[in-house]
Amino acid sequence: MCSKSFSGSLVGGLLATAALCAQPFPPELELLQPLPSIELPDTARFATVTVLFRNRGGQLLQLRAVRSECWCATVSVQRGGVPPDSLGILRVMVTAAGLGDEREERLRFTIESNACNSPLVFELPVRRR
């Protein structure tokens, strides 16, 4: 879990601890494992997979942007504001035209949000069959 450390005198430390306990933890984005792999038959023009994530924090998680390093992939957010301890959904669509000739590749994505672990980078394998 994301945390902030602090130091100070005993009284200052107790006051800071009380202030931290009075406020909920910031949002924290956790990708649910295992991440899916994208299976793309040789005759297919595109493939779509679902990536699930959870807000492990104590405040509303808001996704600002989800980007792919490859123009061949697009991501849509099915739920932009995710309450604490709730699930969100990303739909990833990959077009075959933008992929290289390799039978297996890895696509990298970056999620920007208000989470304490933002930006979060993850990769999905793409396999041609």
Tell me whether residue 61 is in a domain.
yes
Who has greater pLDDT, 102 or 114? 114
List pLDDT tens digits, range 12-66: 555 555 555 556 899 999 999 999 999 999 899 999 999 999 999 999 999 999 9
> What is the number of domains present in the chain?
1
* Per-residue model confidence (pLDDT) at position 81: 92
Tell me whether residue 8 is in a domain.
no
* Per-residue model confidence (pLDDT) at position 129: 84
Is the pLDDT score of 5 beyond 50?
A: no
Tell me whether residue 62 is in a domain.
yes
Which residue range(s) make up the domain with 84? 24-128
Highest mean pLDDT of the ranges 3-12, 40-49, 98-107: 40-49
Is the pLDDT score of 120 beyond 90?
A: yes
Q: What is the DSSP string of 62-84?
A: EEEEEEESSTTEEEEES-SEE-T
- Average pLDDT score over residue span 98-119: 93
Who has greater pLDDT, 117 or 19? 117
Q: What is the DSSP string of the chain?
A: ---------HHHHHHHHHHHHHSPPPP-EEEPSSPP-EEE-TT-SEEEEEEEEEE-SSS-EEEEEEEESSTTEEEEES-SEE-TT-EEEEEEEEEGGGS-S-SEEEEEEEEEESSTT-SEEEEEEEEE-
List pLDDT tens digits, range 75-92: 999 876 999 999 999 999
Give the CATH number for residue 36: 2.60.40.10
